[in-house]
A and B are shown apart, each in its own frame.
Chain A
Amino acid sequence: MQRPLSNILVKVFARGFYKVNSGLLIFMFVVLVSYCFFINTLGDVKLLPPGKELYYQFFILINFVNSPAMMLLFFACWLIYTIKSWQYVAGQLRVEHHQFLYYSVLAAGRRAQFRSWFYMQFIISLPFVFYVLLASAIGLVFHHYLTVTIIISFTLLLIAISAFIYLKQINSLIREKRQSTLLSLGQSWGKPFFSLFIYQIFDKLKLAFVLSKLLSYMVIISVMFSFADVMADSRVAAFAILGVVMAHAVLIYQQHRFGLVYLLITRNFPYSLTRLYIQYTLTWLLLLLPECIWLFAGFGLFTAFGLLFLLLAIVMLFHCVLYRIGLAMNMYLPWLLGMFFAISLAILFGWVWVLVPVCFGISLLLFYGNFYREELI
């Protein structure tokens, strides 16, 4: 192993990748654990010996690759994760202060480069590799040798393909980045302040946007199907709304980051706080248009408007909390979970419509109290 080269690649790419995606990873982990421990996975639990439930749930958690469908789902998730890492590395290779790699890494032989990229991708894939190792150990104990062979082969193949892609990329000349087709289509359109983050999504955050929308619609479908018999209860729709906002938590964070990194100078604009608040609300109204289709197709006009206001109120609350806590992801996550549980409780108690003014009110207080006080450095 070329230690110095591997260390540089891990520091430049793997650490950066984890830093940028830590929120998503923790969110996925919470979803996985919630799924495995709270869903009624075992069907007829009464058949289990008393006191053995936890053991079996743990068994399912670490070994659900026994089911071909779950194994495919796991592979699909890993593939999406890997594609995201390819995008990240490709993006970072274009960053000016990383271009020293083109005239340093290339000095090493191709074999050494491949080994170092392989090691770097192995570090990026650790959350999945860790799971693979656990599942393989359990698989060997229970003699599922074929499954173990398949998942280990998949692991090695995916990491090797990634290393090969990086190797090919760094050994070819830097090409000028082509503008996104979506952006080219909108080239002649005006770009008012509230629309800038939407263009940024089409330029840099396409995958995050697609995943957020997929997750959002999965939440809507699963909540509405699970509670199909009590559809008229506004609490059910409110829970779906809360899930939709949670699905957009990463984009909400990215919007704040975009504002601080690329639009810092606009804090010098003579815009009133009210105007800025309305602009951000408008941004989210546009970003949530796909969810509006569900609202206006599934509910009466009056209820749909009420739910739309609830959606915007919760989004703006999540958005404005960031002015208080800044870009510290380790603080954003506990706040997210705290707000999720507090709003869930309010919904359970039937205070759905009270939440609209309360969330808007708190978000306005946070916005007015912190916009100009946020520590930017």
Chain B
Amino acid sequence: MLHFIKFKKFYGNFPALTIDDFAIEPGIYWIKGVNGSGKSTLLKSIAGILAFDGDIVLDGNISIKKQPVAYRRLVNFAEAEPLFPEFLTGMEMVKLFASAKDAPAGQEQQFITSMKMQSYIDRPIGTYSSGMLKKLSLVLAFLGKPKLILLDEPLITIDTESLKILYSWIRDQHRDNGVSFMLSSHQALDVDEHLDAGELLVDAQTLQFTR
């Protein structure tokens, strides 16, 4: 599903991450690592937000460097602490993402309804609490027809009821549409949710399987 080729990410002269040759099969993955180990850097690099040396190839032939548009259409991302323009309403942000990611008409409605966001989705983002903002960023990450969804710290900030809904989205998308997931988190994924997630560890400036 994802293939790292001579991946190197530097911050100044400091090597933050080095992944020479590493392949990840389709599935759901929990990315572990201590604070500052580079989990967010890894996810932002895969999402095409941060610059890096080397290449990342999706599904064997879609390179982030050589087919940046096709790659970005298939890889979605939700930030750990999202920051969006305060003057936009949640719905305007949804429309912006739906248009950019070529989402089927009305796709957002099921996500908005199941997360119970109808009461504030038309309010300016400047009025949102951090939990509401987090839920919005999660909805945005599910729009379109992605092959891989990257969720940076999705388990923090939102309430337990919403967390269960998020788990159900992940399970459904993986089962019905074959979408792969990479979730970074300090806490273990809930075993009761039966996600059957593989585990990746970011440590010593590189990435490795632990399960």
Give A residues with C-beta under 8 Å from B.
176-177, 179-180, 183, 190-191, 193, 196, 199-200, 202-203, 258, 261-273, 372-377
Within 8 A of A (CB), among B10-58: 11, 47-51
CA distance A376 to B44 in the complex (A): 11
Chain A neighbourhood of B84, CB < 8 A:
262, 265
6 nearest interchain CB pairs? Answer: A270-B73, A270-B72, A269-B100, A203-B87, A267-B49, A373-B51
**Which of the listed residues B11, B49, B75, B87 has the most CB atoms from chain A within 10 Å of its own CB?**
B87
In the complex, the chain A residue whose C-beta lies closest to that of B130 is A96
Which of the residues B71, B83, B95, B140 comes within 8 Å of A262, measured between beta carbons?
B83
In the complex, the chain A residue whose C-beta lies closest to that of B69 is A270
**In the complex, what's the smallest C-beta–C-beta distance from B57 to chain A, in angstroms?**
16
CA distance A256 to B99 in the complex (A): 23
Assess whether A267 is in contact with B92, with CB atoms less than 8 Å apart: no
Assess whether A270 is in contact with B70, with CB atoms less than 8 Å apart: yes
Which of the residues A203, A265, A271, A374 comes within 8 Å of B77, measured between beta carbons?
A265
**In the complex, what's the smallest C-beta–C-beta distance from A264 to chain B, in angstroms?**
6
In the complex, the chain B residue whose C-beta lies closest to that of A197 is B85
Chain B neighbourhood of A267, CB < 8 A:
47-49
**In the complex, what's the smallest C-beta–C-beta distance from A294 to chain B, in angstroms?**
29
Assess whether B100 is in contact with A271, with CB atoms less than 8 Å apart: yes
Assess whether A376 is in contact with B50, with CB atoms less than 8 Å apart: yes
Chain B neighbourhood of A190, CB < 8 A:
95
Assess whether B51 is in contact with A372, with CB atoms less than 8 Å apart: yes
Assess whether B49 is in contact with A270, with CB atoms less than 8 Å apart: no
Known: A196-B85, A264-B79, A268-B48. 6 other contacts (CB 8 A): A179-B124, A199-B87, A267-B47, A267-B49, A270-B70, A270-B102
Chain B neighbourhood of A199, CB < 8 A:
85, 87-88
Which of the residues B11, B77, B88, B124 comes within 8 Å of A268, measured between beta carbons?
B77
Cβ of B82 within 8 Å of any chain A Cβ, yes or no, is yes
**In the complex, what's the smallest C-beta–C-beta distance from A373 to chain B, in angstroms?**
5
Within 8 A of A (CB), among B68-119: 68-73, 75-77, 79, 82-88, 92, 95-96, 100-102
In the complex, the chain B residue whose C-beta lies closest to that of A263 is B85
CA distance A307 to B206 in the complex (A): 53
CA distance A202 to B126 in the complex (A): 14
The total of Cβ contacts below 8 Å across the A-B interface reads 81
Chain B neighbourhood of A376, CB < 8 A:
49-51
**In the complex, what's the smallest C-beta–C-beta distance from A59 to chain B, in angstroms?**
48
CA distance A261 to B69 in the complex (A): 22
Cβ of B127 within 8 Å of any chain A Cβ, yes or no, is yes
Assess whether A203 is in contact with B72, with CB atoms less than 8 Å apart: no
**In the complex, what's the smallest C-beta–C-beta distance from A97 to chain B, in angstroms?**
12
CA distance A375 to B44 in the complex (A): 12
In the complex, the chain B residue whose C-beta lies closest to that of A182 is B87
Chain A neighbourhood of B126, CB < 8 A:
177, 179
CA distance A262 to B68 in the complex (A): 21
Which of the residues B50, B87, B101, B102 comes within 8 Å of A183, measured between beta carbons?
B87
CA distance A191 to B86 in the complex (A): 13
**CB pairs A–B below 8 angstroms (24 shown):** A176-B127, A179-B87, A179-B124, A203-B85, A203-B86, A258-B85, A262-B84, A263-B85, A265-B77, A265-B84, A265-B140, A267-B49, A268-B49, A269-B100, A270-B68, A270-B71, A270-B72, A271-B69, A271-B72, A271-B100, A273-B68, A376-B50, A377-B11, A377-B50
Q: Determine chain B's interface SS by DSSP, over half rule.
A: mixed
**In the complex, what's the smallest C-beta–C-beta distance from A193 to chain B, in angstroms?**
7
CA distance A203 to B84 in the complex (A): 13
CA distance A271 to B95 in the complex (A): 15
**In the complex, what's the smallest C-beta–C-beta distance from B62 to chain A, in angstroms?**
11
**In the complex, what's the smallest C-beta–C-beta distance from A154 to chain B, in angstroms?**
36
Assess whether B51 is in contact with A375, with CB atoms less than 8 Å apart: yes
**In the complex, what's the smallest C-beta–C-beta distance from A303 to chain B, in angstroms?**
38
Assess whether A264 is in contact with B49, with CB atoms less than 8 Å apart: yes
In the complex, the chain A residue whose C-beta lies closest to that of B77 is A268
CA distance A264 to B80 in the complex (A): 13
Assess whether A193 is in contact with B49, with CB atoms less than 8 Å apart: no
**In the complex, what's the smallest C-beta–C-beta distance from A245 to chain B, in angstroms?**
25
With A177-B126, A271-B100, A377-B11 already in contact, the answer to whether A265 and B49 are too (CB < 8 A) is: yes
Assess whether A266 is in contact with B100, with CB atoms less than 8 Å apart: yes
Assess whether A272 is in contact with B100, with CB atoms less than 8 Å apart: no
CA distance A190 to B50 in the complex (A): 29
In the complex, the chain B residue whose C-beta lies closest to that of A193 is B96
Assess whether B49 is in contact with A191, with CB atoms less than 8 Å apart: no
Assess whether A269 is in contact with B49, with CB atoms less than 8 Å apart: no
Assess whether B72 is in contact with A269, with CB atoms less than 8 Å apart: yes
With A176-B127, A191-B92 already in contact, the answer to whether A268 and B86 are too (CB < 8 A) is: no
In the complex, the chain A residue whose C-beta lies closest to that of B68 is A372
CA distance A267 to B86 in the complex (A): 18
Chain B neighbourhood of A179, CB < 8 A:
87, 124, 126
**In the complex, what's the smallest C-beta–C-beta distance from B60 to chain A, in angstroms?**
19
Assess whether B101 is in contact with A269, with CB atoms less than 8 Å apart: yes
